[in-house]
Each structure stands twice: as structure tokens, then as C-alpha cells.
Structure 1
């Protein structure tokens, strides 16, 4: 049953982006902090993908949104998570996230893919219509849940807390001149100390303000790490 819910209410902002070194040559990154991935800028003769630059840690929860502005079409546009062993390019039109046991993905046709197998999950996305897909990775329960335009589609994958390799956000497309943009990014607090540093950072706003506060050097460095993300 579909439901409307707001994931990770008790959380802080996250600030990962696409990895400029771990992408297909058919992916162009642009915009603020390289958050927009453009696939096959001229024409397409295969499948291109890009990974996020931050590990999804077990024991933590993450939520992010991917905005597809308008062009939804082709053999496969995919969103999900994968290890570094997952391929980022192939000269063929395939469902690359989940083509093997290194990826877990949802295609725009409403199918979930993992280990080369697919299953029905939701209705296909409407072609050439803007849509927003939310992804919730629960590193405690080991689940992956998708949201479409703010509506939960239910748990898609389980058992991800048992994966030994590091997992990363990943998107892919076979269609020429398509685009996916990172929107909202949230993560749960790792501990009370993490919660406190986020509150301090929000109050200070700038690194210069941090420099004048009387805090031990180690604590200043800890707060500064969050302010730089």
C-alpha cells in the first residue's frame, strides 16, 4: 500500500555529490558542486552511470532525492546503490544497476533489479514528465525504500546490512540528453556528539566564527569537518 510520509525527520543535512572520477565518459557533471549528471550529451550507443562520492555506512540512515527534470524515456533510466565493483559504462542498452550482485536498482519501467534478475515494484514512470525519486537507505535494518513524488513505494530491497563491500548512491541512463539532479540529502545522527556539533555549526554559520570560540582544538576540528561538507 502506498503512503505519504516524511523520512528522517530527526536528521541533519548531508552534502555528498557525484564523483568526478567514478563515472562513465558519457556522463557530464555540472551545476553547483557537480550535483547534476547529464547522460550522453550528443547521442547514445550504450549505458552510462555515475556513483556518489560518499559511502553509505551501516548503522546509519540516509535519504536523498533525485530530480529528473523532463526527459524520461529509453531502455533504462535507473536509481539505486552499488559497490565500486559495479560497472559504470557498457556499449549496450542494459539495466546496469543490478545487472549482477554488486548493485540494487529501480528502472523507470517500475522494475527492481539485483543479481541480473528483475521483479515488478511500481508503475512505470510517465515518459517526458518531470518526476522526483526519493531513496531511503537504512543501514541499521539493511533496507532500501523508494519514494515517488513524496509517496513511499514500500521496501524494495532487504539484507543490505550484510553486504561486505561499501555501498554508494548510483544513477544510470541509456537515453541521450537525459539528466538527473541531486536534491535533498539527509542523514541520521551517528551519536550525541554528532548531534551537538551540527547544532553548533548551524549557529556559527562560518568558519571564522568557530575560530573565536573557546573550545579544545580537537573539538574545533570535529565541528569544522561538518562545516566543510
Structure 2
């Protein structure tokens, strides 16, 4: 199918900025460079299943992200979905890592949905050894998770997610050697006008250090910094009350 970005959701939202969490991953997941957007699984050979968690907290918002999967689609399980901090990220066996308990919801490359140890047929198995784009739409308001394959909507996969109180994060895993998944086309819905204005400003800023040069209050700087991914200098607010005060500006 020809790539057609107009078929993707949240195109009127803003670009989202998050990465794979280098601290919350299996030892068999590797990153190269400073972008942390491409996760490499089992770079030499595989003896189990490796997963990694994203840095984006999803609850109460609407988010869309795409995964570009390398041509090496094969093996016991390659999975894409969401999970809490309690979801496992490594197994010393070839298994469907996510969906074995109530802490994660995922789709496998075999077209099956997994949650709470139960599996459901959802779509056709992915064609092996052919690069694929998998889109994931999380709607925290409606409480649904919907998948897209090469720009085509596959329908709602999971519901009731708005009732989950634990923070939810994007997750991926693979049991196959020398496989990789890359984040792309990340979008999120605007929360309000203030959020929309921030999105316009951060497009002009290359990194968080650029914020220090702006002649704006400390609370505004903190609010802007939260929207910029800086892999070299992760955001750590010195005064949380300053960040929280932005809502009153």
C-alpha cells in the first residue's frame, strides 16, 4: 500500500516528542547514537524475548505513533502495545512477553491480541521478511486502543483503558534475532490553546539549552522544557512547584 499520511489520525494535533527508555529495557535491547528512537533486538543471536518501554505517559490524552519495522519479521513473537510499569520487559524464553497478565495489552505479528493471558484473533498474520508500518492510536478519553497497518485502520483492539489508574506507556518486544523497530509519525492531541502555542514555540528551539536565552518567566521556561526531547540532557525540573505554577499564568 502506498504511504498516505492523510489516512493517519491526529493530523491536526501537534508533533509528539518521546523516545524509548534506555533505563527500562531488556539487556538484549540496544540503541546506537543519541536519538533512542530505534530499538535493536538481539543484535547477534536470540535466547529469549526482549522488550522496552517508551517514555510517554498516555493516560487521559490522545496519542498516535507509528513503528517502522525492519524486513526481518519472523520468530515466535514481535509485539506492539501498551503496558504499566509492572509489565515484564525480558524473558529467558521465546514467548509472547506482553498480555500474559493484566498489566499490558498488545498485538503480535501473528495477528493476535493479548491481554490477561487470553488471546484473540484480530487481523491477518504479517507477511514475513517484508517491512511494515504499524500505527497505534491510544484514546485515553474513550478508553480505546486502535491499530493501523501500512496506513489502514484495523479497528478498535482494546477498550476500557480509561479505567486504568496506573500510568500506561508504549511498549514493544521481539523474540527474533537482529530485528529493529523505529518510532515515527508521533502525534498528540492539543490539550488547550496554551498547549497549541507551546507547540509553535518549541519548533523553533533546537534543544532545552535554547530556553535559557528566552526572556520569559521561569515557570514558562519549565513548561516549554517539558515539551522538548533532549537525549543528551534529560529534563529534571529543579523546582516542581515552579513547573506546576504554569497553570496559573
TM-score computed with the length of structure 1 as normaliser: 0.91
Shift of 1:70: 0.8
Q: Deviations for 1:90-133, whole angstroms, at most 9, x for unmatched residues?
A: 11111111011111000000000000110110010000000010
Match of 1:65 in 2: 66
Q: 1:227 to 1:41 in 2, by over 3 A?
A: closer
Identify unmatched segments of 5+ residues in structure 2.
Answer: 1-5, 231-249
The whole-number CA distance in structure 2 between the counterparts of 1:119 and 1:223 is 42
The whole-number CA distance in structure 2 between the counterparts of 1:209 and 1:45 is 45
Match of 1:17 in 2: 19
Higher strand share: 1
The whole-number CA distance in structure 2 between the counterparts of 1:88 and 1:37 is 13
The whole-number CA distance in structure 2 between the counterparts of 1:212 and 1:43 is 49
Matched, 1:133 2:134: yes
The whole-number CA distance in structure 2 between the counterparts of 1:47 and 1:227 is 31
Q: 1:7 to 1:89 in 2, by over 3 A?
A: same
Contact 2:20–2:37 (CA under 8 A) maintained in structure 1: yes
The whole-number CA distance in structure 2 between the counterparts of 1:208 and 1:79 is 35
Matched, 1:205 2:205: yes
Worse overlay, 4-13 or 118-127: 4-13
Report 1:6-45 matches (<5 A). Answer: 6-45=8-47
Q: 1:45 to 1:208 in 2, by over 3 A?
A: closer
Worse overlay, 113-122 or 30-39: 30-39
Q: 1:141 to 1:128 in 2, by over 3 A?
A: same
Shift of 1:46: 1.1
Contact 2:17–2:227 (CA under 8 A) maintained in structure 1: no
The whole-number CA distance in structure 2 between the counterparts of 1:212 and 1:29 is 33
Match of 1:74 in 2: 75
The whole-number CA distance in structure 1 between the counterparts of 2:201 and 2:48 is 47
Report 1:143-162 matches (<5 A). Answer: 143-162=144-163
Q: CA RMSD in A?
A: 1.8
Shift of 1:227: 4.1
TM-score computed with the length of structure 2 as normaliser: 0.84
The whole-number CA distance in structure 2 between the counterparts of 1:31 and 1:154 is 35
The whole-number CA distance in structure 1 between the counterparts of 2:175 and 2:138 is 25
Question: Aligned residues, how many?
Answer: 223
Shift of 1:36: 1.0
Match of 1:110 in 2: 111
Dislocated runs of 4+, deviation >6 Å: none
Equivalent position SS for 2:31: strand
Shift of 1:219: 2.5
Worse overlay, 75-84 or 37-46: 37-46
Q: 1:38 to 1:209 in 2, by over 3 A?
A: closer
Match of 2:196 in 1: 195
Q: 1:152 to 1:31 in 2, by over 3 A?
A: farther
